[in-house]
Amino acid sequence: MADPTSTPVVPGPREPRLASTTLDPALLAAPPARESGVQRSVRWVREHTLALYSALALVYMFLPVAVVVLFSFNDPAGRQNTRWNEFSLDAWTNICKDPTICRSVGVSVSIALVATIVGTILGTMISFALVRHRFRGRASTNLLIFLPMATPEVVLGSSLLALFLNMYWGNWQMPLGFWTILIAHIMFVISFVVVTVKARLAGLDPRLEQAAMDLYADEKATFRYVTLPLVAPGIMGAALLAFSLSFDDFIITNFNSGSTVTFPMYIWGAAQRGIPPQVNVIASIMFFGALAIVLLAQVLGARRRRVVARGTGSVASGAAGTAPVAAEELARRPS
Amino acid sequence: MQIPASSPAIDVAGVPTPAAPAPGLTRGRAVPYWLLLPGMLWLTVFFVVPLVSLFATSLQSPVSDNPDDGYYFNWDFSNYSEALSRYGEQYVRSFVFAGLATLLALAIAYPLAYFIAFKAGRWKALLLVLVVAPFFASFLIRTYAWRTILADEGFVVDLLNALNLLPQDRVLNTPLAVVTGITYNFLPFMILPLYASLDKIDPRLAEAGADLYAKPLTTFRKVIWPLSMPGVVAGTLLTFIPAAGDYINARLLGSTNDRMIGSVIDSQFIIVRDYPIASALSFLLMATILILVTIYVRRAGTEDLL
Amino acid sequence: MASQSVKQVEDLHLVRLTKRYGEHAAVDDLSLTIPAGSFFALLGPSGCGKTTTLRMVAGLEVPTAGMIRIGEQDITALRPYKRPVNTVFQSYALFPHMDIFENVAFGLRRRGEKNIEARVNEMLELVELTPMARRKPAQMSGGQQQRVAVARALINRPDVLLLDEPLGALDLKLRRQMQIELKRIQTEVGITFVHVTHDQEEAMTMADTVAVMNAGRIEQLGAPQELYDTPRTAFAANFLGQSNLFPGQVVARDAQSVQIRAFGQQVLLPATKLSTDSDRVIVGVRPEKLHLHRAGGAVPEGRNTLTGVVTDASFVGVSTQYLVATPWGQELIAFEQNMGSAERPGVGETVTVSWEPAHSFGLDGSDDLNAGIDDDLLEVGHYTAADVEAGLVPAPATVPGG
């Protein structure tokens, strides 16, 4: 430890430091025998700058969430729920006070469920093709997967609208609504499913499948008893991601919704005249629900990883790497 | 026709079979195409075709002054110049706001990602969850919550005013609020790729740097930063692209003078129904982003990211 | 093992087996018969094609040409799950999501067999893992995982059990233990074991027959002792143990022995141990067969002799390893047991090196003298007998590792 400030302090009699007006030059050269409170806190801050900075960044990230949760307990004075008035459990006990809220949540959930199921199946199939097979057109397939993620949502939404507007036959015009929203959502979740499942699949030791075939499992049995159970966590993660992307999407939906109102559409409409605290309640439920699922998965995953670390891991390959890759892909789009 | 019971399955003269990733599993040549077909068809019909349709729409002209009469296709490239001259301001503002937010997000995210990767120890997993967690609460409501935080009588504004940092005495409905909101909304997308690439760096490299007489800052500049470049590139792209197209933050947190191009596209499409102009703007936005991204990735020398 | 009657198995035949990746032939026209019930080792450096051969037998790799038969049954085109062959994979490939019992039961379940519980328990007993039945693979040590992998394959009573570097992931001590274990299991079940390894000691310890593979072909095949005592190529001589090889010219031969002239010295070797008809030969002798005599020391009658200067002597406990520079520039390696109290020769001393004629072997003179030695360990590169005779061999600057 070369840092003089970290030299152990030798206990001794308190020096009348403030009393002396002239400083002994020898004292200046020597490391200080004792730190003042200020010095100590300066040193502490310097040693923990990074941690403090990180803590502040987390505060920045959680501040709005805290506000959302807090204001779900507010009894707003007027229509706008932006100023604290009075604690109330009203919103929590009477979520469906305005039935349009709950109806919009229902619409969002059904769209998200169908989009998740279809998107996860289609995306998983593509991942298997990409990881498990060699074929012509691989590069263009990868490009077609990547592009929707690199396209701003306004462009995705508006281009789909341009398509739907051009879909007419005589007097029939493609009606905007539930089905057009669903089509759009399936389209944009596929890419996210592909990258998430692909990461998991790529981390899967091909020898496990070979071992299954060596042990009399044909292609179907190998898939059912070995491949699928091992890729399942990746598929589950992808489905969770797809659901939350679909449920929370506003921009793409806004272009293609017609008169159908999803939950984000409801919020957008309500923002002008004041968002009721029930919306905060639903957002809080979503937040804590998802947090619980993720934490649970982490705990289970951590236990598995610890066990793996102990053994000489034929399993270890991949498992650890999947999370950040998936997270990175997850990171590509907000809503 | 008689087929011999045990026909020789081996191509003796043969074309060598390429090394498949999982030999024994790749029997049918058609299998991958069947797996790809439904998903790729979906993406083609509802992503590629719409883009073509968007481009086609951007070249249409109105039949009459009434948008209800519709538009017809006539290679009307003037829509582009028209769109730019009318909405150039919002167009440029989008990229400025997105660029600022990206830089801010990098400044906030890098130390945090560094901390999680190298200093968090057993709290690593939990911190990662915390980073992702906020974005499970509805995007719109979180953005809306910033209205409360940045409200004119709120503690943030009071604090900043006390420090004499605010020229306009307020944050809400100013560009500052918009950039704050955009930075906030896309922060996880900066942190996660940064973390992913920092986490791959062997911490002993920093020790080796120190052992070879590099000061901590030099070690960071010469060792850690270059190695984290893939994360920096990925993170800035993941932040910049959606930020440039975003208009929620501008609409909820900014004034009418802070509108971004997404907002214009939205209203031109849905309210004004000037489809050609809206399509031209949308197509321009995508083209500009693709060009910027290509230049950026080339310069960063990490083409394999795409 | 009362109920585990010895299985009636048939020979495994590889006929002109070839596997090409583009231009490169990983396995090149390989023909081989592995007798039923034998413990057969495929030994060779990495990239010699031994694992590819094994994977073709398992059905995980499709041969470019050739045929694989078990008895009279052609299995070349069969899918892996249709073959009476099971594999112990490198690093085991145990199913991480199943416990040990289910891993072992996997093959039986896929074949819809009866009495699974009893058979799995019996197999777990054989590999001494009964108490671990409900553990997951990740909760077990490397040695235990290895035994599970063996049990999982063996329970199916295959005609042939393939082992792909099965002990590679274990530490030295455990490896020795598992070698003995595997040998015991093989004797008990009587199934043909084909074992791929790059570890020559492992191959010699376990196998009845060892095939030395090099560049997609088999260099030599035989019982371990035969291979060691009478290598037929320079590659086999160098890859299996160490050898001193130097060039010579046949001057006389009869039914019993061959007389060779090497750098002015007469060297005798048994006619059975000469592997070539050519007169240009390489004479080989193992380092531990050499004995050093100090100047003035008596050399017993009838031994082959060479003279040289000691350039290095390193004491390694049980023996001392010497490097002796010959007048023509090659260095010989000699291991002397540390017995008796006689003064050992020192560096710089001129010594006579002697050995029994029966311990020499003769190889074809066109072989690369350093074939089979890891390039990283080679100080002077590859050279042939002709190079040595032309004086083209530089003396190594430092001592190669023992």
| Nearest-by-CA chain B residue for A139 | B306
Q: Does C145 touch chain A (CB under 8 A)?
A: yes
Q: Give the nearest partner residue to A208 out of C95, C136, C142, using CB atoms.
A: C95
| Nearest-by-CA chain C residue for B25 | C60
Q: In the 8-state DSSP scheme, what is residue A171?
A: T
Token reading at B137: 């609460």
Instruction: Give B20-76 as a DSSP string.
Output: -SSTTT---SSHHHHHHHHHHHHHIIIIIHHHHHHHHHTTEEESSSSGGG-EEES--
Q: Give the nearest partner residue to B9 out of C55, C60, C77, using CB atoms.
A: C77
pLDDT tens-digit profile of A269-292?
A: 988 888 899 999 999 998 998 888
User: CA angle A269-A274-A277, nearest 5°?
Assistant: 105
Cβ-defined contact of C79 to A218 (cutoff 8 Å): yes
Which chains border A (3 or more CB–CB pairs < 8 Å)?
B, C
| Nearest-by-CA chain C residue for A228 | C97
Helix axes A153-165, A178-202, angle to 10 degrees: 130
Ramachandran angles phi, psi of B207, nearest 5° = -65, -40
Pair type for strands C350-355 and C291-294: antiparallel
Cβ-defined contact of C22 to B23 (cutoff 8 Å): no
Nearest-angstrom CA–CA distance, B73 and A125: 38
pLDDT tens-digit profile of B1-33?
A: 333 333 333 333 333 333 333 444 445 678 889
Pair type for strands C85-88 and C160-164: parallel
- What is the model's pLDDT at position B18? 35
**First-last CA distance in chain C:** 44
Q: Does C76 touch chain B (CB under 8 A)?
A: yes
- Number of residues assigned to chain B: 306
Cβ-defined contact of A314 to C137 (cutoff 8 Å): yes
Name every chain B residue with its beta carbon within 8 A of the beta carbon of C77: 8-10
| Nearest-by-CA chain C residue for A308 | C138
Using H for helix, E for strand and C for coil, what is the string for B256-298?
Answer: HHHCCHHHHHHHHHHHHCCHHHHHHHHHHHHHHHHHHHHHHHH
Residues on chain A bordering chain C, Cβ-to-Cβ distance under 8 angstroms: 205, 207-208, 210-218, 221, 225-226, 229-230, 304, 307-308, 310-315
Token reading at A221: 């049995």
Mean pLDDT score, B236-241: 90
Q: Which amino acid appears at position B44 of this protein?
A: T
Q: Which of C77, C33, C38, C19 is nearest to C193 (CA)?
A: C38
> Which of A61, A166, A248 to mutate to probe the B interface, most B CBs <10 Å?
A61
pLDDT-based confidence at residue A223 (cuts at 50, 70, 90): very high
Tens of each residue's pLDDT in chain C, 402 residues: 334 444 567 899 999 999 999 889 999 999 999 999 999 999 999 889 999 999 999 999 999 999 999 998 999 989 999 999 999 998 899 999 999 999 999 999 999 999 999 999 999 998 889 999 999 998 898 889 999 999 999 999 899 999 998 888 788 888 888 888 888 889 888 899 999 999 888 899 899 999 999 989 999 999 999 999 999 999 999 998 889 999 999 999 888 889 999 888 889 999 999 888 888 999 999 999 999 998 877 888 889 999 999 999 998 888 899 999 998 888 899 998 887 666 788 899 999 999 999 999 999 988 888 887 776 666 656 677 677 766 666 544 333 333
Cβ-defined contact of B119 to A126 (cutoff 8 Å): no
User: CA angle A274-A275-A277, nearest 5°?
Assistant: 130
| Nearest-by-CA chain A residue for B53 | A163
Is the model more confident about B125 or about B20? Answer: B125
Q: Which of C241, C185, C244, C255 is nearest to C212 (CA)?
A: C241
**A–B: how many Cβ contacts below 8 A?**
314
- What is the model's pLDDT at position A188? 93
Cβ-defined contact of B43 to A333 (cutoff 8 Å): no
Instruction: Tell me the shortest Cα–Cα distance from B3 to chain C, in angstroms.
Output: 16
Q: Which of C360, C369, C364 is nearest to C388 (CA)?
A: C369
Cβ-defined contact of C97 to A213 (cutoff 8 Å): no
Q: What are the angstrom distances between the C-alpha of B215 and each of B89, B207, B222, C209?
A: 46, 11, 10, 61
Ramachandran angles phi, psi of A120, nearest 5° = -70, -40
pLDDT-based confidence at residue A98 (cuts at 50, 70, 90): confident
Check if the beta carbon of residue C383 is closer than 8 Å to that of residue C396.
Answer: no
Nearest-angstrom CA–CA distance, C158 and C162: 10
The residues, ordered by sequence, that sit 6+ positions from A97 with a Cβ below 8 Å of its Cβ are A90, A91, A276, A278
| Nearest-by-CA chain C residue for B8 | C77
pLDDT at B133 over 80: yes
Q: Does B254 touch chain A (CB under 8 A)?
A: no
**A–C: how many Cβ contacts below 8 A?**
92
Q: Which amino acid appears at position A122 of this protein?
A: L
Name every chain A residue with its beta carbon within 8 A of the beta carbon of B282: 154-155, 158-159
> Which of C62, C68, C73, C74 to mutate to probe the B interface, most B CBs <10 Å?
C62
β strands within C286-392, DSSP E: 291-294, 304-315, 319-325, 331-337, 350-355, 361-364
pLDDT at A148 over 60: yes
Cβ-defined contact of C139 to A311 (cutoff 8 Å): yes
pLDDT tens-digit profile of A10-42?
A: 444 444 444 444 444 554 454 555 667 888 888
Nearest-angstrom CA–CA distance, B198 and B225: 9
Q: Give the nearest partner residue to A328 out of B146, B234, B248, using CB atoms.
A: B234
Token reading at C244: 């001193």
> Which of A312, A317, A322 to mutate to probe the C interface, most C CBs <10 Å?
A312
Q: What are the respective helix, strand and coil percentages of chain C, to the nearest 5?
A: 25, 35, 40
Instruction: Tell me the shortest Cα–Cα distance from B215 to chain A, in angstroms.
Output: 14
Nearest-angstrom CA–CA distance, A3 and C329: 60
Residues β-bridged to residue C245: C284
Tell me if residue C260 falls in helix, strand or coil: strand
Token reading at C170: 């274990």
Name every chain A residue with its beta carbon within 8 A of the beta carbon of B51: 155, 159
Nearest-angstrom CA–CA distance, C402 and C398: 12
Only one residue has tokens 């998200």, namely: A112
Ramachandran angles phi, psi of B103, nearest 5° = -65, -45
Q: Which amino acid appears at position A228 of this protein?
A: L
* pTM score, whole prediction: 0.78
pLDDT tens-digit profile of A171-213?
A: 888 899 999 999 999 999 999 999 889 988 988 888 999 999 9
User: CA angle A43-A48-A52, nearest 5°?
Assistant: 125
Token reading at A108: 């969002």
Mean pLDDT score, B67-87: 88
Tell me if residue A307 falls in helix, strand or coil: helix
Nearest-angstrom CA–CA distance, C174 and C167: 9
> Which of A134, A204, A216 to mutate to probe the C interface, most C CBs <10 Å?
A216
Token reading at B136: 């499970």
Nearest-angstrom CA–CA distance, B73 and B79: 12
Token reading at C318: 């049980």
Check if the beta carbon of residue C303 is closer than 8 Å to that of residue C354.
Answer: yes
Only one residue has tokens 């035994």, namely: C147
Q: Does C20 touch chain B (CB under 8 A)?
A: yes
| Nearest-by-CA chain B residue for A51 | B115
Tell me if residue C247 falls in helix, strand or coil: strand
Check if the beta carbon of residue C74 is closer than 8 Å to that of residue B7.
Answer: no
| Nearest-by-CA chain A residue for C157 | A215
Q: In the 8-state DSSP scheme, what is residue C273?
A: G
Check if the beta carbon of residue C51 is closer than 8 Å to that of residue C38.
Answer: no
Burial tier of C196 (Cβ tally within 10 Å: 0-12, 13-18, 19+): buried
Q: Which of C233, C329, C330 is nearest to C281 (CA)?
A: C233
Name every chain B residue with its beta carbon within 8 A of the beta carbon of A212: none
Please compute, for residue C352, the number of CA atoms within 13 A of its CA located in the half-sphere on the CB side: 14
> Which of B41, B47, B150, B263 to mutate to probe the A interface, most A CBs <10 Å?
B47
- What is the model's pLDDT at position A257? 93
- What is the model's pLDDT at position B98? 96
| Nearest-by-CA chain B residue for A278 | B141
Check if the beta carbon of residue C106 is closer than 8 Å to that of residue C96.
Answer: no
Nearest-angstrom CA–CA distance, C320 and C340: 13
Name every chain B residue with its beta carbon within 8 A of the beta carbon of C63: 10
> Which of B33, B129, B136 to mutate to probe the A interface, most A CBs <10 Å?
B136
Tell me if residue C287 falls in helix, strand or coil: helix
- What is the model's pLDDT at position A301? 67
Nearest-angstrom CA–CA distance, C104 and C107: 7
Instruction: Tell me the shortest Cα–Cα distance from A206 to chain B, in angstroms.
Output: 6
Burial tier of C294 (Cβ tally within 10 Å: 0-12, 13-18, 19+): middle
Q: Is C302 left (phi over 0), alpha (psi -120 to 50) or beta?
A: left
